[in-house]
C-alpha cells in the first residue's frame, strides 16, 4: 500500500514543526517571553540561602506590566511592598510605616526585575543557555554587562512557555530562589496596580 501524496506532505510538515519546536532553546523562550508577554501575575515563594547554609523563606504575590512596572507584595514572614511605577521604585515597610524611593534607572539596572520587565534584556545582560534541564525546567544564565550592583548571576527557568523560577547569586555569597506559582501571562491588571502613594504619617525618604 502506498502513502498518498497528501499524507506524505502532512507527515513531513509535522516532522518539520516538531524539529523546529525541539530546536527552541531556553534563550529563545526568554526572548519570546519579552516580546509577547506584556503583563503577568503570580504568587511566589522565595528562599534565601546564606553562605553558612541558613535559609529564610518568604511568600507573596507579584505582578508586572511592560515597560518597567512591577509590584512585589511580601506577606510572610514580614510584610513589605516593592512597586516600580515606571519612574521610581518604592519600598514600603508597613510595620515601621517607612517608605523609600529611588529613580527607576538606578534601582532597576542589573536586577532580577529587569530580566522580567525590561523590553531590551540583551542590552543589560549577556544571555546563555544552561545545558540540559534542572527541576524539569529549561534555564537561561543572565550575567549583568555592568559590574555595578550586588547581583553576580541570574538564572531564569521556563516550563514550556511559562515563567517558572528565578535564581540569584549575589556578591554577599547568598543564593536566592523565587518559585512562581500559577503564573498568568498577559493578565488584565487594575490601573492602580503600579501606583504607590505613601500612607498618611509615613516616614518617606526619596533619592
pLDDT in tens, 183-197: 999 999 998 999 999
Please indicate, yes or no, if residue 108 is contained in any of the structural domains.
yes
What is the C-alpha separation between 164 and 152, in angstroms, rounded?
Answer: 20
DSSP secondary structure letter of residue 27: H
Q: How far is CA 55 from CA 50, 177, 190, in A?
A: 6, 11, 34
Could you give the CA distance from residue 55 to residue 138 in angstroms, rounded to a whole number?
25
Any domain includes 177: yes
Q: Which of 15-24, 56-65, 93-102 has the lowest mean pLDDT?
A: 15-24
Position 18 confidence tier, pLDDT thresholds 50, 70, 90: very low
Q: Is residue 79 part of a domain?
A: yes
Cα atoms in the Cβ-side hemisphere of radius 13 Å centred on 201: 4
Cβ contact 84:137 at 8 Å: no
Distances in Å between the alpha carbon of 112 and those of 8, 149, 154, 170, 194?
A: 47, 12, 7, 11, 17
For residue range 20-43, list pLDDT tens digits in order.
Answer: 334 568 899 899 999 999 999 999
pLDDT digits (tens, 9 = 90+) for 85-122: 999 999 999 999 999 999 987 777 667 888 888 888 88
21 inside domain: no
CATH of the domain at 156: 2.50.20.10
Count of domains forming the chain: 1
99-124 exposure pattern, b = at least 16 Cβ within 10 A, e = fewer: bbbeebeebbbbbbbbbbbbeebeeb
Instruction: Tell me the three cell numbers of residue 40.
Output: 503577568
Residue 3 located in a structural domain: no
Asked whether residue 176 carries a pLDDT value surpassing 50, the answer given is: yes
Domain contains 180: yes
Range of the domain at 175: 26-200
pLDDT at 3 over 50: no
Distance CA 19, CA 12 (A): 11
Amino acid at each position: 500500500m502506498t502513502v498518498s501524496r497528501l499524507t506524505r506532505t502532512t507527515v513531513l510538515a509535522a516532522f518539520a514543526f516538531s524539529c523546529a519546536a525541539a530546536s527552541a532553546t531556553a534563550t529563545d523562550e526568554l526572548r519570546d517571553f519579552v516580546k509577547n508577554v506584556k503583563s503577568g501575575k503570580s504568587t511566589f515563594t522565595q528562599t534565601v540561602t546564606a553562605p553558612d547554609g541558613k535559609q529564610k523563606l518568604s511568600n507573596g504575590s507579584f505582578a508586572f506590566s511592560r515597560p518597567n512596572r512591577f509590584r512585589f507584595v511580601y506577606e510572610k514572614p514580614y510584610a513589605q511592598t516593592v512597586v516600580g511605577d515606571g519612574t521610581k521604585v518604592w519600598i514600603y515597610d508597613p510595620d515601621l510605616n517607612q517608605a523609600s524611593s529611588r529613580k527607576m534607572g538606578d534601582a532597576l539596572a542589573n536586577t532580577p526585575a529587569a530580566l522580567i520587565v525590561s523590553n531590551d534584556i540583551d542590552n543589560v545582560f549577556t544571555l546563555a543557555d544552561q545545558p540540559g534541564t534542572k527541576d524539569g525546567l529549561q534555564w537561561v544564565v543572565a550575567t549583568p554587562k555592568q559590574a555595578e550592583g550586588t547581583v553576580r548571576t541570574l538564572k531564569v527557568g521556563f516550563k514550556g512557555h511559562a515563567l517558572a523560577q528565578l535564581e540569584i547569586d549575589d556578591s554577599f555569597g547568598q543564593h536566592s530562589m523565587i518559585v512562581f506559582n500559577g503564573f498568568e501571562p498577559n493578565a488584565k491588571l487594575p490601573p492602580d496596580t503600579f501606583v504607590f502613594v505613601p500612607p498618611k504619617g509615613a516616614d518617606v525618604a526619596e533619592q
